[in-house]
Amino acid sequence: MRVKEVIVVEGRSDERAVKRAVDAQIIVTSGYGIKETTFRAIEEADRRCGVIIFTDPDFMGERIRERLKLRVPGAKHAYLSRADATSEGDIGIENANPQAILAALEKVRTWVENPVDVFTKSDLIKNGLEGGPGALERRDKMGKLLGIGYGNGKQFLLRLNRFGVSREEFDKALNAIDLENGGPETC
């Protein structure tokens, strides 16, 4: 698959893993200490053909994503699940197989600055995504299906609304999880 946007990753190992999955131009941040020249290259790439931010599904990856989002607010975002990115306790895109990387890149989403809030905290609670047994696992599965990544309840709600997830997409993903698990774990 050819990706027209430039993909931004953390390290050279991530770059190699992505190149095994897709044909794309890639910019490497070299971790959290992103140089100004790298930021400028990312901003120019965004103006020219668009950018997909694709960082590791760990704390530092999220911090890097936040820094990039401030500099390139119109960027698209791709997420890998922790399960797809983990090998022998190490979490990173470099550990994912090409199929998982391709699946994540096929579900890219754009962060909306002033969204219409379709979802509320009560939607999460009612659907077993917050405040009950199995909520963490359900959010993880839902984030993977929707392409918005994992987050705690507050982060997950923000992502649902900011990435413009529709009620129909939400319900479809929820039904898929319920079919797999035999229903939500609610009281």
* Average pLDDT score over residue span 105-130: 93
**Amino acid 184: pLDDT:** 53
Cβ(28)–Cβ(11) under 8 Å? yes
Identify the architecture of domain 1-111 in CATH.
3-Layer(aba) Sandwich (3.40)
Kindly tell me if the per-residue pLDDT of 169 is higher than 80: yes
The residue among 37, 28, 35, 36 whose CA lies nearest residue 10 is 28
Q: Is the pTM of this model over 0.75?
A: yes
What residues does each domain of the chain span?
A: 1-111, 114-187
